Amino acid sequence: MDTRLVKDRLGRFERVHRTFVNAQKKVERRRVQLNAAQARLAECDAVQDEAVDTLARALIADGEPRGNPFDPFGRPAPGTLMRLPFAEEAAAVHKLVAAVQRSKDVSKATIQAAQAADKTAGVVEEALGRSAKLQDTVRDARRTRDASGRDGNRPSPR
């Protein structure tokens, strides 16, 4: 079969396809990195939730209300706080810790629990930042891949 009539177009298609495949591999690598960062963020959030629970128990031991030991500090109940989105929860933990540390009626154990919760909130914020950066790299890699596919669809001048 004589393919001379389509040889140039097939060559262009082959080059564009190769570029697209390589760009897709980059997208996949970035996506794997993002998945790992999101898993790490979830792990950090679980640790933060444990720290919030520990702080709640310490406050109850100090005599705060069992229904919501955070109420005297202007914060939602532990369960509500733990269900907030990652960034909002970390910010709420920081505010709660600041309020607890200003209080004169808390024990040393409660102060230590508050400091631990504050530290875990910082770790969550760091993990959130890494995840956000990786989301940007995945988005950029997809744009590059998609652009490489579009460039090859332009007909050549005859």
SS3 state at 79: helix
The structure's pTM equals 0.81
Tell whether the model's pLDDT for residue 45 goes beyond 70.
Answer: yes
Reported confidence tier of residue 157, pLDDT bands at 50, 70, 90:
very low
The predicted structure's pLDDT at residue 49: 98
On whether the CB atoms of residues 94 and 118 are closer than 8 A, the answer is yes
User: Could you read off the pLDDT of 46-82 as tens digits, one per residue?
Assistant: 999 999 999 999 999 999 999 999 999 999 999 999 9
User: Could you read off the pLDDT of 102-128 as tens digits, one per residue?
Assistant: 999 899 999 999 999 999 999 999 999
Average pLDDT value for residue range 81-87: 96
Number of other CB atoms surrounding residue 31 within 10 Å: 16
For residue 75, the number of C-alpha atoms closer than 13 Å in the C-beta half-sphere is 29
Tell whether the model's pLDDT for residue 132 goes beyond 50.
Answer: yes
The predicted structure's pLDDT at residue 78: 97
Helix (H) or strand (E) holding 150: helix 108-151
The predicted structure's pLDDT at residue 154: 53
The predicted structure's pLDDT at residue 67: 94
For 116, the token pair is 């631990």
Tell whether the model's pLDDT for residue 136 goes beyond 80.
Answer: yes
